[in-house]
Structure 1
């Protein structure tokens, strides 16, 4: 998720972000116009999550090392982090999020 130049009220949720350098790159927002990042399945090419947000929860992060650096864990509670999933697992998660569970049985 990204915003620039005072962007605000971005709600990035229930997405599959695959092979991104970091999950977030956002700027300060106006009071009561915070950005949100939740319920996402984030496969990163590095270990840096990026900018911490006040409204950040239920995300699952996957990194080459299975760890994250510069995390928001101390500010926003425990984060779910694991090593990189296979391409098939990423596609399976995307199909679930798109409501295509029936097609999963055929794969």
Structure 2
């Protein structure tokens, strides 16, 4: 992470702390299994797919959505990344998500 001269990094640390305390998938505590749709659907869990990177009040991370019980080295059917922005108090005010891989339906 690049840090301008004289910058303490406090905002990056507070953004990452917000991610951890908010239960961001794979950061600080595991996500709960999610159930979608109206019928028999496998339970899915989010897992972090790389480091959380922060710069000033913005953080980004890549995540994977996999069926519960999937081995850690198995390929994820759904992959995306989120960008988070915190306000001056360190609270999240913006979350933007992107889907990089989604199974064909």
Structure 2-normalised TM-score? 0.24
Could you say which structure has the higher strand fraction?
2
Could you say which structure has the higher helix fraction?
1
Which structure's CA Rg is the greater one? 2
Structure 1-normalised TM-score? 0.24
